[in-house]
Chains A and B, each alone.
Chain A
Amino acid sequence: MYKGTPSRIRKVLYALIIAFGLLCVRLVFVQLGAAKPLSDIASSQYRLVVSLLPKRGVIYDRNLKELAITINLNSIFAEPLKVKDKGLASEKLADALGVSRNEIYKKLSQEKGFAWLARKVSPDIVRSVRALNIKGIDFIKEPQRVYPNGAMASHILGFTDIDNNGLEGLELRFNKYLKGVIGYRYAVRDAKQREVPGYEHKEIQPVDGDNMVLTIDGLIQSLAESELEDGYKKYHAKGACIIVMDPYTGDILALSNRPNFDPNNANASPPDSRRNRAICDFFEPGSSFKIIAASSLLEEKVVKPSDKFFCENGEYKWCGHTYHDHTPHGWLEFRDVIKFSSNIGTMKATQRLGPERLYKYIKKFGFGAKTGVELPGEVNGITTNPSTWSKLSLCSISMGQEVTVTAIQLACAISALANGGNLVKPRIVQAIQDKTGRVIEKFESKKPQRVISEETAKEMRNILRGVVDSGTAELADVEGYFPAGKTGTAQKVESNGTYSHSKFTASFIGFVPYDDPKFVIAVIMDEPRPFYYGGVVCAPVFKKIAGQLMSYYKIYPKQQDNSAMSFLSSGLKGKNGAKREAKKNNR
């Protein structure tokens, strides 16, 4: 026993030395050969990268009232492997979340470590789910874009997806400013995958999105939407849009479309209702476009307001085509041609101008090109070169056919008449600011381009005042505020290429007051029924908004307008004077 012991001890010792040697070899092998992948596996087991989401920037109106903000809401997720009684849990969760039991059960039955149950739910739902105290059901905070005014200004603001990326409107166009930059925290997690506090390695702070200040006035937007909604419903229109603009700066004070949608729940609305018709839809403007022909005729001095034209008693054959007036007229002064929207009078006057000069003014007024407003999806409209015009084109274009425009182009064009002859660029974004209020980018009003002289613009304002005072837009008249404008009723083109006799686009574009315009308002209705005249359908909408706008800006109505009276006495001869004059001429 004694003798044998050292030998056994030696053997054990040798064995231990060999084992130790093997371990050393293994250690060398691990350290030299497999250190990197093994340390990666180890760190992936305890390292944790937490994403720090930035806050999306706020969108304000011109009075710094919030139009779009971001709040944090809880999303509910499940760790299916941890949920024990899936059937019971599904039943309880289905009640709390208001979804079907099968849907929840399907999610809980997955062989996965993670499954979303509901994203960005209200605090009430979170409370009720929390009260169920189901193991394996947890919550995570996520930022949610919300619009406190609901559907108001939805086409301007647009909306975001579930991950807060802009999908429409300004949310899309200015996504890179609004979104911000995501941050990260590199931390350590425990065996239960929880973050161990106090062991953060590194933290890169998120950069919050920038805020935007718009030119929109929340209250004017609300007024415009309310009146447009009334008109849209009353006349069962297929679509409608309205633009309220400052004629001097091009600032858009309100822009709205019908049908509209609630950006808080954009997915529930049909895609058609999300289209910003004011900038994305083009249409033949009809008689509203006569302001372009009239302005160019006066500017080129080929026609004077007092020049007389024979309106053929409502029917005129030209180049094998018969043109009609809505109401038959005989001899009319040019100002009355526009006032009563005589197609025949306008086309006869435009003959004096010729295609090249008319086209020059169409382009000068900004038609056929984007206005450059900061909203996505703007279209050019269609204006063709005179070289492609037929013999009828000059007449057709002068009365707003064979040419397509957008509502915003019309608003800009009439702004030029309102502000003394300068074409303004529309603007909807004033500035982008960081969260401290420092201006990052300022969107100044672009320098307007002169398209007609001040005298011509003034003459046109007087003529357009006549349209409202005693012409086709008497329903637009606001007592004491003397608005001016032009109606339009355009036949829509059928799929077979002919003009429809049942589908019309009605429009009214105007400004108020006519002698010192403060606002330009353009109202367009697509396929209104049963009435379809711009002066019947759109003019009352203009009237209501114009009256409320003037009150809002504390501009009191004038009892008597002397300049208007002098104009009336010289040209219009009172409310029905021109009609009497026309009858006298006919005789």
Chain B
Amino acid sequence: MDKKPNNHCLKILAAIVMVTFVALAYVNQQALMYQMGLKVKQNNDVYTKLVDHNKILVYNVLNLRSPVALERKLLTKEVELSMPSKWQVVKIDHSPKKIVLKGKI
């Protein structure tokens, strides 16, 4: 007879603990989700920042090697470049067979 109220109390207590545990688990899950989201966002921000920085560097490289910029640079440094005349060009035959033949002759 005495055990009955105790059993009820235990059941209620167990239910309260259970609900509390589930609630805490839910809150913890939400917090974890937020933390993970934040981490993903931070990583994504770093990635975006690096990609953007890379694009700016690519732009700078393109800028430096653009014919217009190169010409301007050469002009300011007074470097005179010109295409070689035909007599200034030596054609080298890469065919080893011909070199051997020429050697024999």
Contact = CB atoms under 8 A, between A and B. Distances in A.
Given A149-B67, A219-B67, A551 B83 contact: yes
A226 B74 CA distance: 13
Nearest to B72: A150
B67 A150 contact: no
A146 interface: yes
B68 A152 contact: yes
Contact of B66 (A149, A199, A556): A149
- Which of B33, B36, B59 is packed against the most chain A CB atoms within 10 Å? B59
Interface string B57-71: 011001100111101
Interface centre among B48, B67, B71 (most CB of A within 10 A): B67
Contacts of B83: 548, 551
Interface residues of B, number: 24
Contact of A197 (B34, B48, B89): B34
A71 B37 contact: no
A372 interface: no
A218 interface: yes
Given A69-B55, A71-B59, A557-B86, A198 B66 contact: no
B66 A71 contact: no
Contact of A71 (B40, B55, B67, B69): B55
Interface in B50-99: 52-53, 55-56, 58-59, 62-63, 66-69, 71, 83, 86, 89
A312 to B, nearest CB: 46
Contacts of B36: 198
Contacts of B19: none
Interface string A55-98: 00000000000100111100000000000000000000000000
Contacts of A251: none
Contact of B62 (A66, A123, A197): A66
A164 to B, nearest CB: 15
Interface residues of A, number: 28
B68 A151 contact: yes
A453 interface: no
A196 B83 CA distance: 63
A150 B62 contact: no
B48 A148 contact: no
B71 A222 contact: yes
Contacts of B52: 71-72, 141
Q: Which of A70, A123, A198 gathers the greatest number of chain B CB atoms within 10 Å?
A: A198
A198 B34 contact: yes
Given A71-B55, A71-B56, A548-B83, A149 B68 contact: yes
Contacts of A196: 34, 37
Contact of B59 (A146, A152, A548): A146
Contacts of A221: 67
B62 A148 contact: yes
B27 interface: no
A218 B71 CA distance: 13
Contact of B69 (A72, A141, A150, A226): A150
5 contacts: A148-B66, A150-B63, A150-B66, A197-B40, A557-B86
Top 9 A-B residue pairs of the complex, sorted by shortest distance between their CB atoms: A198-B37, A197-B37, A222-B67, A148-B62, A551-B83, A149-B66, A197-B41, A72-B52, A71-B55
Given A141-B52, A196-B34, A218-B66, 13 more contacts: A69-B62, A71-B52, A123-B56, A149-B66, A149-B69, A152-B68, A195-B41, A198-B33, A198-B34, A198-B36, A199-B37, A221-B67, A226-B71
